[in-house]
Amino acid sequence: DTGVSQDPRHKITKRGQNVTFRCDPISEHNRLYWYRQTLGQGPEFLTYFQNEAQLEKSRLLSDRFSAERPKGSFSTLEIQRTEQGDSAMYLCASSLDQGDYTFGSGTRLTVV
Amino acid sequence: KNQVEQSPQSLIILEGKNCTLQCNYTVSPFSNLRWYKQDTGRGPVSLTIMTFSENTKSNGRYTATLDADTKQSSLHITASQLSDSASYICVVPRDTDKLIFGTGTRLQVFP
């Protein structure tokens, strides 16, 4: 297990299209987090899972966004009807309970 | 309001020089403070975690300080290297589950 993996690394999509990102956390980590980072800003919390349960969602996560973590392993983040304002780096992180976070390298989304 | 503020916003130094980055926070209740290094286009990597009772913590050439009374932290980088060029982000957890990130200090080290 070499850390948190995110796929794809880059995604360019046309406005209005749906996109889905995947995150594979460190296998023994029970918590998984999604953050969004725009240029020049720190990451902003979107949502997190403890095992398969989604425990909290930020108000930033509009109804066009949905995240799942079936079976408490990998997670997917889907954005429907993408808008230009969705362009950002989407970061996934995992942790064992409240321990240190390990971040993935992120998926950079560009909506044109 | 729970906030984390960093200064300076950006910093340019010559290779081999030292530098100090600042972080002020208003997150409450406080449990720990973290410094992350983020290379361009990559995810943040943890440098250090400091709890309420720790005043100083070192990780190689990185030394973090924490003053929980004034709610301030600093990250000191000694003998900078070109590979230190990155954004350094101060992070404080809110509640137990969410990290509040500062906007970071962008450090550029030139030869």
Chain-centre distance of CA A108, in angstroms? 11
Task: List chain A pLDDT tens, one digit each, 112 residues.
Answer: 569 999 999 999 999 999 999 999 999 999 999 999 998 888 999 999 999 999 988 888 889 999 999 988 999 999 999 999 999 999 999 999 878 899 999 999 999 9
- pLDDT at A71 (0 to 100): 87
Closest CA to A51 of A85, A17, A28, A18: A28
Each residue's pLDDT tens digit, B66-108:
999 999 999 999 999 999 999 999 999 887 667 889 989 999 9
More confident of the two residues B110 and A2: B110
Give Cα A13 to chain centroid, integer Å: 17
Which residues in chain A have their CB less than 8 angstroms from residue B45's CB?
Answer: 103
| Sequence letter at residue B52 | F
Task: For A85, list phi and psi in degrees, rounded to 5.
Answer: -70, -10
Counting one residue from A and one from B, how many pairs have CB atoms under 8 Å apart? 50
| pLDDT of B97 | 65
Q: Which of A52, A62, A60 is nearest to A35 (CA)?
A: A60
> What is the Cα–Cα distance from B69 to A60, expressed in whole angstroms?
32
Among A105, A60, A59, A111, CA closest to A87: A111
Largest CA distance in chain A: 38
Pick from B43, B93, B103: which is nearest to A41 by CB? B103
Q: How much is the pLDDT for B96?
A: 60
Q: Which pLDDT band holds residue B11 (cuts at 50, 70, 90)?
A: very high
Query: With an 8 Å Cβ cutoff, is A4 touching chain B?
Result: yes
- The pLDDT of residue A6 is 97
Q: Name residue B105's beta-bridge partners.
A: B88
In this structure, what are the phi and psi dihedrals at residue A60, rounded to the nearest 5 degrees? -65, -20
Residues 6+ apart with CB under 8 A from A101: A33, A93, A94, A95, B46, B99
The pLDDT of residue A97: 86
- B23: chain A residues, CB-CB within 8 Å: none
pLDDT in tens, B26-70: 988 888 999 999 998 899 999 999 998 899 999 999 999 999 999
Q: List the single best residue of B2, B98, B103, B106 to mutate versus A (max A Cβ within 10 A).
A: B98
Give residue B31's pLDDT.
87
